[in-house]
Chains A and B, each alone.
Chain A
């Protein structure tokens, strides 16, 4: 009797726990982060659920943003969509045009939850806001592109971390001169870094209508800008042996090549900062810096990458209230700090950033260097050409760029021809997108 008593008690307790959780109002939350980052995200759900006795977030992870958006669309069409969806930049235009969402700023106001929206970095908030400035989705995991460099290599070659592309080329040559067998730049074509971030910091557009913000009849223009010269330079560096292609299809991506001390430079998201730390071989001495710019240009802010949280339409009031509570939970400085220190992402509010800086978060390894991303993102106030991109069929037009650049790098055509073709084909896709949403305008 004595023996079974604790077991009974445990059973009774378990019963209480299940009834308690059954009483909780559940809402679905689907996210696209996978691997370590996905587990960290799942942990935010657990933390939220532990802090709550009324609402419960049921979180489901998918392997990548494309997949989660695609699954959410299928579920939405069947009337089984999640309440919260983590969607990425390229999915923004379709979601905005569909109108099937509950603007997060409106939702928080409807439920009387006070959020200081001015506290959000404008570069981040603008990307997810309507043309009138109403925030549509909740900024969450945010990043921007930076330059990763091997400090030991640069010291050996006797150069400083380059801030312009001219210095960058000189640094590549110096590194090569110091060690001819060294891979200077491990290059992986990235439309996000080479075109979108590059154009923003130079304050040049990639498409008409202020990068698509002012209407659906947009055309790409990047085959006529400084971008062409930049891509030609990269091609030349590869031909001269200063840069090497490092792609996953070739067995090793640029990030691995950098972390394994094979290449001196790589370009990528600040979100890779923690991955590089984890993968770095012993004794790798590295740091990050803002993307270089071409001489004679004034630096502007870079644009935000990553994803934000959308609240989809067609859910019950109760579920929306739960979602609002979750957003409120995420918006606390404490949650933000927890998220930032467990991933490579950057804080999205000014106060969290200031608090972290004051606590010395950014002055020691492994977090040192991540403040560079915020410096880049907030370098200037976002202008018409640097607030982001509002373009339809973005996944496909990005793929066009990549395929054409690959063709040029393989020597099948010149870079100018490749970019001309990419623009022409992408414009056809934009026209099709506009026709799909004929008679509608971007909110």
Chain B
């Protein structure tokens, strides 16, 4: 499932044998160690699906599976972009800002109820370009001004949000372009077009990660930036490209979100950052970088989506749903990463 990158940090045996880490380490080794762990997110997903299906057979109804795919479309597209950034050991907090800029651009340029524009699919293109540009700027700010990605993208988040609030005048603007709304409403082989777009985004991300130099360089930087640099990787170029690539995916997600909701307002991205980071991490991509990948993220997104769906199907009270979500995140991460090998936990 995942590509195996041997960690560059070596850990002495003495460190391994503290009581806290000894037991889980042993259990993991008994079941095949690394191999088992890399499959842990998939196992969590399968067990989750089985449990929910037993409790409420409606879960495996075709209609529900389609709905699941539909609600996973936007988070999946977002998480594809975020995966590359987290793989580098950086973080992109501009998810919500970039998404709202892209949704704002598409709504204001396509037919809407606020101005007379009607550029059709050019609006979609412009929105994706806007998203990519936001990411590109994040990358430049990080590499040229040498500002940590956390702060650089935090800034871009609020710049994007402010831009959308200003352009939309604080209100919700309706998207009236029927052909763009088709993304959410029309179906091909029983699945909404948004799901196909998200699938396309996943395939594209997979190709970039596993079959291009950029993908390998991103992993190398996440593994150890100094070593990557010494091996001749142009770190600045890879970083800027990766942020622009993330912005590209956020841009697509913005268009999908606007198409699904049929409107755009500045807060259209609210809560998406948390969901995307959760999905990436639950899928088994390490926040420290260098480990994991887009396939992990696909599983992570499905876990998060299935869990949200399942909690409603099981009738879990909304007052404790967040608690359950929090427990799931900790459980999934605890299972999926080999904590024993971590020297430092920050």
To the question of whether A and B form a pair in one complex, the answer is no
Residues of B within 8 A of A (CB): none
